Structure 1
Amino acid sequence: MWVNLLEEIRKTEAKYGDELNSPVTDQEIRKFEEAVLGKFPVNEIPSGYKKFLQTVNGLDFNGLVIYRLDQELLREENDEEVYGFIETNEQWHENDEQKKYLFFGDSDTGWYCLD
């Protein structure tokens, strides 16, 4: 399961004196949902992504990036700098062909999105 993999990443990061981002709060998730549902073509935020954010707010590890909540939606500043969900989707949506997707992350070889 992804939680076990995340724990392995946490251990690897700790070896280098780094730590993963703190989780987001329920209030921050609600603000995020309000901002996303009014802006992008989606009826709901997938529960798996919300659970991920409530475990760690974004990830940048070994070429894989999973977007975090944008800084203006957070009460505290993020520990690790990771691209924000809304700002990154706005960039991807500058291309009309990509407006039908909601992007959750990317890597050197692909995008992770919802159609």
Structure 2
Amino acid sequence: MSMDQTPETPLNGPVFWDRRELDQLLRVYGRMVAQGEWRDYAMGGLKDVAEFAVFRRHGDAPAYRVEKRPSLRLKQGQYAVMGEGGVILKRGRELAQVLKVFDARRFTVVE
């Protein structure tokens, strides 16, 4: 990071997860894999959003997505957990707090 860039200054280029955030995401992912809930994940970084998607089975649509949108950092919070269909389950400023949505309840598929 150069001297003229502060943590509040967005960098040009894609948004992605830092090491601390990845550690938190992969801890939750590992726990859910051990419980047999999730089977696969994918990550992506675009110009305005980083995404961590988890899948119940290979080839399915994502069961959950965790997004990081720095542009919302000062508003409703840059982190969000979304369920199937894009429903926002939790949004906030701290990733650890947002990821607690996976501790709060047991998720089951309703058909």
Structure 1 and Structure 2 fold alike (TM over 0.5): no
TM-score by length of structure 1 reads 0.30
- Structure with bigger RCO (C-alpha 8 Å, 6+ apart): 1
The structure richer in helix per residue is: 1
Larger CA Rg, structure 1 vs 2: 2
TM-score by length of structure 2 reads 0.31
